[in-house]
Structure 1
Amino acid sequence: MPMTILIALGSNRRHGRHGTPGRVLRAALAALQQSGGHDIGVTAASSVWITPALGPGGRTYANMAAALETALPPEELLARLHEVEAAFGRRRYRRWGARVLDLDLLAYGEAVRPSRHRWPGTRTRVRAASRALVLPHPEMHRRAFVLGPLLGIAPDWRHPVLGLTVRQMSARLRRPRVSVG
């Protein structure tokens, strides 16, 4: 069975050559496949979702999700994602700021980093030590702008720590919260 590698794509700034944020995302997928010797394939891509900004960024975002196949190890794939971001003009200087392109590695097969026994439950946040790679992405189950596009390409993908499918994580996120007391 092939390994499921999932990424999230986001943009909320026009690009001089590629145009609107939605077009930036499509161009980024093409660039990812063409970078570094054609060793990354896109096996599925969601439609573009327009979502409100998270944090003080203000501008709406175009978001997508994609499934990849590659023989690159996770760290090299992440480095490739960062190279594509940089080629599109991404500068990593301000959290929550407007950006022409944001590429996040959500899942790399069944990989769990840090190890499974160090992953806290869903009530606390997973924080990476310095810039260490955390897999699956520690906030993906809390973000509708990630789960929505994922529903279109991998609804039955199961989170290796939480044990929930994308469909179940999305339903939990949309479920109204009731206050007791």
Structure 2
Amino acid sequence: MVQSFPSDLAGSIEGYVALGSNLGDRGETLERAIERLAAHEDIVVERVSDVYETDPVGYTDQPAFLNMAAAIRTRLGPEELLDALQAIEQQLGRVRLVRWGPRTVDLDLLMYGDISQDTERLTLPHPRMMERAFVLVPLRDVLTETHPLYSAVAESANLACRDGKEGITRWKTINWHSASAHFES
């Protein structure tokens, strides 16, 4: 069954979420995170990227990450969406001990419509997304070519990969067809 967009979500906002994991069964954790996003009554997962294995950035004494991105539609406000993302992290065992340290799962809100905001809790668009190949490459997969940032994201992702600034390799291709879709190689 294809995930349908409930009629009461008319007027919803498109958002973009980055997902990462480097502890436990990383692929399974990302799958569960996407499924929980899709199961939320106020969120529809429209597109998901491939999954990429990436070298850690910042705190480098930790295992490699799996990273991906999702394009969603939601009727939640930006901070309500952040709450939903953090609830999914908590449900999947996220513990915040070391900034940029190992984690079972990380869900970051990258963009929320064309909203720009900078509060103590949430900065949109995400302030470091254009600096990180592990965000840019999966984000490029889910942005449509008509998105205002597509060209900048694609160019930055291509440069980061070509220059070898950050180790990033495609790990798995995903065919997202429904709320109950499973990751496929």
- Corresponding residue number in structure 1 for 2:101: 97
Contact 2:14 2:74 in 1 (8 A): no
Q: Which has the greater radius of gyration?
A: 1
More strand by share: 2
Structure 1, unpaired ranges of 5+: 15-19, 115-128, 177-181
Instruction: Flag the 1:136–1:90 CA change in 2: closer, same or farther, 3 A.
Output: same
Contact 1:57 1:96 in 2 (8 A): no
Pair 1:135-2:124 in alignment: yes
Backbone CA RMSD of aligned residues: 2.2
Deviation at 1:32, TM superposition (A): 1.8
- Corresponding residue number in structure 2 for 1:121: none
TM-score by length of 1: 0.76
CA–CA distance in structure 2, aligned partners of residues 79 and 61 of structure 1? 23
CA–CA distance in structure 1, aligned partners of residues 61 and 67 of structure 2? 15
- Describe the SS at the equivalent of 1:165: helix
TM-score by length of 2: 0.74
CA–CA distance in structure 1, aligned partners of residues 106 and 61 of structure 2? 13
Larger RCO: Structure 1 or Structure 2 (Cα < 8 Å, ≥ 6 residues apart)? 2
Which amino acid in structure 2 is aligned with residue 158 of structure 1? P
- Corresponding residue number in structure 1 for 2:52: 49
Structure 2, unpaired ranges of 5+: 1-10, 164-185
Contact 2:12 2:75 in 1 (8 A): no
Deviation per residue, 1:94-150 (Å, 9 max, x gap): 112210000000000101113xxxxxxxxxxxxxx6x32100000000000011111
